[in-house]
Amino acid sequence: MSKLRIAIQKSGRLNEDSLKIIKECGISIDNGKDQLKASARNFPLEVFYLRNGDIPQYLRDGVVDIAIIGENVLVEKGEDIRFVERLGFSKCKVSLAVSKRETYEGMEFFNNKKIATSYPNTVKKYLNNKGINTEIHLINGSVEIAPNIGLADGICDIVSSGSTLFKNNLKEVEVLLTSEAVLAVSPKISEEAQAILDKLQFRIKSVLKGRNSKYVLLNAPNDKLDEIINVLPGMRSPTVLPLAEDGWSSVHSVISKNEFWNIIDELKAKGAEGILVCPIEKMVM
């Protein structure tokens, strides 16, 4: 039986979040300590644990069919590789930063300066588009120390919370791109593997939709029912059930977690009571 071969990062936060979403898709992986490859017990899936920077080449060569990888890595090493889903985790920025002591007034600061980075292709493309000429020092790891030891005038690196920049007396001055984990696909994926991917992607979409939604139950006075229903976006239309108490109905709906508090405030203002909010594990459309 054919299996879908998926690459995920060998270790780190992306590894943990990747395994979590696979688990939430109802797929059980037989993981052993320091394994480089593992199989699922209940889905035709084979997991390869690889170095993040190597994954684009494995996709390009068809060694793996798909991968969960940071979009920033694809921009740097795999612009020819397509992705089919944004996964909503491992969000970060790829940014330029300089010493806090520097006065920064624009991109011209970097003209004829030195930049240390692990993302040379990303930096070159961005600065070339801006007409800025720089010297790039390729560093793998600990990029943020470069300005402090006189190796470079600035750096380009991943920024999540900004705490690493702060600790090294650096400040973010330009954002080159924003990134998150994506589901990337090999250009050599077979028809059989694509059929399995379609099933996996259906499950992933259901998990992501559940993560981004809340199930809301509330009590509404019947004379305010139409106004309250108009506030609720819902999937199609909310479920309305009569309560034992005359003049009241129970309303059930789904709302986006991003709009959640604004909608709740509006519901209360229109007379909704007893509002109950529940998480959604999965949402099959």
Contact criterion met (CB below 8 Å) for 8 and 68: yes
pLDDT of residue 235: 59
Residues 25 and 79 in one domain: yes
**Looking at the structure, do residues 27 and 67 belong to the same domain, yes or no?**
yes
Q: What are the 10-residue block averages of pLDDT along the chain, 285 residues in total? A: 92 90 93 79 95 94 97 93 96 94 92 94 94 91 87 92 89 95 97 97 95 92 92 77 92 88 92 91 83
| Residues 46 and 75 grouped into a single domain | yes
Does 270 map to a domain?
yes
Q: What is the pLDDT of residues 179-212, one digit of tens each?
A: 999 999 999 999 999 999 999 999 999 999 999 9
Biggest distance spanned by C-alpha atoms of the chain: 77
pLDDT at 236: 66
Instruction: Say if 263 falls within a structural domain.
Output: yes
| pLDDT score of 284 | 84
Give the predicted TM-score (pTM) of the model.
Answer: 0.86
Residue 284 lies in a domain: no
Query: For the stretch 214-249, what's the b/e string if a residue is b when 16 or more beta carbons lie within 10 angstroms of its beta carbon?
Result: bebbbbbbeeebebbbebbeeeeebeeeeeeeeeeb
Residues 201 and 220 in one domain: no
Q: Is residue 101 part of a domain?
A: yes
| Confidence at residue 234, expressed as pLDDT on a 0 to 100 scale | 60
98/149 same-domain check: yes
